[in-house]
Chains A and B, each alone.
Chain A
Amino acid sequence: MQKYIVKRLLQLIPILLAITFLSFAMMRIAGSDAVEQKMENTGAVVSQEVVDAAREELGLDKPFLTQYFVWLGNLLRGDMGTSYISNKRVFSTFVSKLPATLLLAVTSILLTVVISIPLGILAAVKQNRFTDYLIRIASFLGNSMPNFFVALLLMYLFAIRLNVFPVIAEGTGLKSVAMPSLTLAIAMSAKYLRQIRATILDELSKDYVAGARARGVKFSVIMRKSVLKASLVTIITLLTLSVGSLLGGTAIVESIFMWDGVGKMAVDAISMRDYPIIQAYVMWMAIIYVVVNLITDLSYRFLDPRIRLGGMEL
């Protein structure tokens, strides 16, 4: 197990290097370096010597790879440059907006758990009956709606027609987080209901369930004590893996509901071509994604006693 963890951590290094390199290269492909950008912003006409001097000062005359390593060094000290638009430090801007996005992500995962697990179990238990069909149709329809459509429908229904929630988020209260997280939870629940149902059905078809029923153990007891326990590992893995698609999805939902997180920050930055901000967003989202996936993979192994106790090496 420990060997495995070390191996996975070592594998993380080239991936992180690739992510940072791609983010850096992306910024350079975007065409303008900091000096040109500043000139554009101030509108001043300066001689080539001044430009060259400024380039030398910022190290922009060095070869591409040297620049990358200098940039990487700065990155490790939390320096990602300044925004072209607001002139604020990129890193601190990003850090100040991250908690809102994390709050949104956590509440939507919790909502997903609350919606999808009971419905998934219900559908599995009532397999091929009316309830099952209803749940499956709902999940199919939910899967066929883009999240911005769901967001606008919810907004129309709850904020405009029923006046329950505010149209745009005001602060980070419970009422403001409700609609954006419900939007994300609907999309995720629709996606995972099928898999949760399949997992439970798979477990229910195993011999020990038939054995327990033959011995007269109550169905609810089998469900609670054996089936759920056994399926939980797969379900938890599914949900943590959903963090990735969640991270991409928050951008659209955040900008619809004016939720002041990193997703909205990125969308605004894209419309204003504020490359340092876009770069920070892409890079950090990728890093968070990779790290979460690694943690999922490790916890999956820890949660499954067959692997933890060394009986099965995957």
Chain B
Amino acid sequence: MNETVTVRTQKIKSNHAKRRLCVFLVLTALLLLTALFSMQLAPYDPYAQNLEEAMQPPSVRHIMGTDQHGRDMFSRVLVGGRTSIFATLALVAVISVFGTCVGTLCGYYGGKLDSVIMRISDVCLAFPGLVFAMAVAALLGGGISNAVLALAVVSWPKYSRVARSQTLALKDGPFISAVRLAGSSSIQVVSRHILPNILGPILVTAMLDIGTMMMELAGLSFLGLGAVPPTAEWGNMMSTGRSMLQMYPWIVLSPGIGIFISVVLFNLLGDTVRDYLDPRNSRSR
């Protein structure tokens, strides 16, 4: 009798996590679709200047007002989101794939290559992240792709560490020995048996990283090290608007709200994915 009760509560909890996951997946998909089709969705041309309508406060015609060139802020926030969101996703995809490959190979083969690469990642971790990224971005010059590259250089060690420690924990396990006895080559062992098994923790790390990376990317743009105006991007829109904060606060606040909503959404999705894959780590505990 007692047993059935326990099983039942567990069932309810896991369904709950699944439902939350579905909700946030749908919301994130909506965000991504909005970003993808932002050019078509935008009510006005985000780059069309109309000086007669410059600096208008939010109204029915321009729900987020207009900027100093009379460009519709709502359209600019939508289109800016495309740059910010897809640049962030590209960044996280690159560092998680690269870091995972490096970490898995290091963990599996060990030896000299392993210690050399791990020392390199030690040095990367020895720099405070954003300071290092600022320096790399300053070297490479402006542009959103350079900002992505700068953050990639700084952030990959996190993934290689996770992948390496997971690989180390797995590689001497009995099922790996069995696979090797059955005649699988190293590449087959790594790609068919180790990678699928370490994908969970990597996925969780990556999902939780999206929000942080989005904020850091916007931060670099804010400092003038990312997307260059007139390209609409949330960080540089806030940066150009900050001198007008006193009179025309909507120019700064609208892109800020854009960043905030997307980061909240990605963080919620990340937390839910973690709770779903690893319920022991749930946030309520």
CB of A252 closer than 8 Å to a CB of B: yes
Please report the total number of A residues contacting B with Cβ < 8 Å: 48
Q: Is the CB of A146 within 8 A of B264?
A: no
When C-beta atoms are compared, the residue in chain B nearest to A249 turns out to be: B130
CB of A135 closer than 8 Å to a CB of B: no
Q: Is the CB of B238 within 8 A of A290?
A: no
Q: Is the CB of B123 within 8 A of A19?
A: yes
CB of B285 closer than 8 Å to a CB of A: yes
Complex CA distance for A285 and B131, rounded to whole angstroms: 8
Residues of A within 8 A of B103 (CB): none
Q: Is the CB of A152 within 8 A of B245?
A: yes
CB of A239 closer than 8 Å to a CB of B: no
Q: Is the CB of B219 within 8 A of A26?
A: no
When C-beta atoms are compared, the residue in chain B nearest to A290 turns out to be: B126
- A-facing residues in B226-271 (Cβ within 8 Å): 235, 238, 242, 245-246, 249, 252-253, 256, 259-260, 263-264, 267
CB distance from B250 to the nearest CB of A (A): 11
When C-beta atoms are compared, the residue in chain B nearest to A15 turns out to be: B126
Binds B, one of A59-67, A69-77, A210-218, A240-248: A240-248
CB of B59 closer than 8 Å to a CB of A: no
CB distance from A240 to the nearest CB of B (A): 14
CB distance from A33 to the nearest CB of B (A): 15
B120-143 near A? 1/0 per residue, CB < 8 Å: 001100111111111101110000
When C-beta atoms are compared, the residue in chain B nearest to A155 turns out to be: B245
Determine the interface band of chain B, counting residues with CB < 8 A from chain A. 35 or more
CB distance from B18 to the nearest CB of A (A): 21
Q: Is the CB of A145 within 8 A of B223?
A: no
Complex CA distance for A78 and B260, rounded to whole angstroms: 43
Residues of A within 8 A of B235 (CB): 148
Q: Is the CB of B238 within 8 A of A149?
A: yes
Q: A26-B135, A148-B222, A271-B224 are in contact. Are A160 and B246 (CB under 8 A)?
A: yes
CB of A236 closer than 8 Å to a CB of B: no
Q: Which of A18, A146, A155, A267 contacts B123 (CB 8 A)?
A: A18
Residues of A within 8 A of B99 (CB): none
CB of A30 closer than 8 Å to a CB of B: yes
Q: Is the CB of A286 within 8 A of B128?
A: yes
Q: Is the CB of A282 within 8 A of B263?
A: no
Complex CA distance for A15 and B123, rounded to whole angstroms: 7
Q: A26-B135, A26-B139, A30-B139 are in contact. Are A148 and B219 (CB under 8 A)?
A: yes
Q: Is the CB of A248 within 8 A of B259?
A: no
Residues of A within 8 A of B284 (CB): 128
Q: Is the CB of A255 within 8 A of B259?
A: no
CB of A226 closer than 8 Å to a CB of B: no
Residues of A within 8 A of B139 (CB): 26, 29-30
Q: Is the CB of B126 within 8 A of A143?
A: no
CB distance from A175 to the nearest CB of B (A): 18
CB distance from B1 to the nearest CB of A (A): 27
CB distance from B57 to the nearest CB of A (A): 14
When C-beta atoms are compared, the residue in chain A nearest to B256 turns out to be: A149
CB of A235 closer than 8 Å to a CB of B: no
Complex CA distance for A201 and B282, rounded to whole angstroms: 14
CB of A5 closer than 8 Å to a CB of B: no
Q: A249-B130, A266-B134, A270-B138 are in contact. Are A141 and B245 (CB under 8 A)?
A: no
A14-51 near B? 1/0 per residue, CB < 8 Å: 01001100100010011000000000000000000000
CB distance from B211 to the nearest CB of A (A): 6
Complex CA distance for A1 and B245, rounded to whole angstroms: 54
When C-beta atoms are compared, the residue in chain A nearest to B255 turns out to be: A149
Q: Is the CB of A252 within 8 A of B264?
A: no
Q: Is the CB of B129 within 8 A of A245?
A: yes
CB of A144 closer than 8 Å to a CB of B: yes
Q: Which of B128, B222, B242, B253 contacts A244 (CB 8 A)?
A: B128
CB distance from A155 to the nearest CB of B (A): 6
Q: Is the CB of B285 within 8 A of A201?
A: yes
Residues of A within 8 A of B218 (CB): 146, 148
Residues of A within 8 A of B203 (CB): none
CB of A192 closer than 8 Å to a CB of B: no
CB of A302 closer than 8 Å to a CB of B: no
Q: Is the CB of A152 within 8 A of B263?
A: no
- B-facing residues in A237-284 (Cβ within 8 Å): 244-245, 247-249, 251-252, 255-256, 266-267, 270-271, 273, 278, 281-282
Residues of A within 8 A of B283 (CB): 136, 194
Q: Is the CB of A152 within 8 A of B238?
A: yes
- B-facing residues in A129-162 (Cβ within 8 Å): 136, 140-141, 143-149, 152-153, 155-156, 160
When C-beta atoms are compared, the residue in chain B nearest to A270 turns out to be: B138
Complex CA distance for A289 and B245, rounded to whole angstroms: 34
Q: A19-B126, A152-B245, A152-B256 are in contact. Are A281 and B238 (CB under 8 A)?
A: no
Q: Which of A26, A152, A270 contacts B223 (CB 8 A)?
A: A270
Q: Is the CB of A144 within 8 A of B128?
A: no
The contact sample of 12 A-B pairs, CB cut-off 8 A, is A15-B122, A15-B126, A26-B135, A140-B264, A140-B267, A145-B256, A146-B259, A251-B130, A252-B222, A252-B223, A256-B242, A286-B132
Residues of B in contact with A (beta carbons under 8 Å apart): 122-123, 126-135, 137-139, 211, 215, 218-219, 222-225, 235, 238, 242, 245-246, 249, 252-253, 256, 259-260, 263-264, 267, 283-285
Q: Which 7 A-B pairs have the closest CB atoms?
A: A248-B130, A146-B215, A144-B263, A149-B256, A282-B135, A270-B138, A248-B128
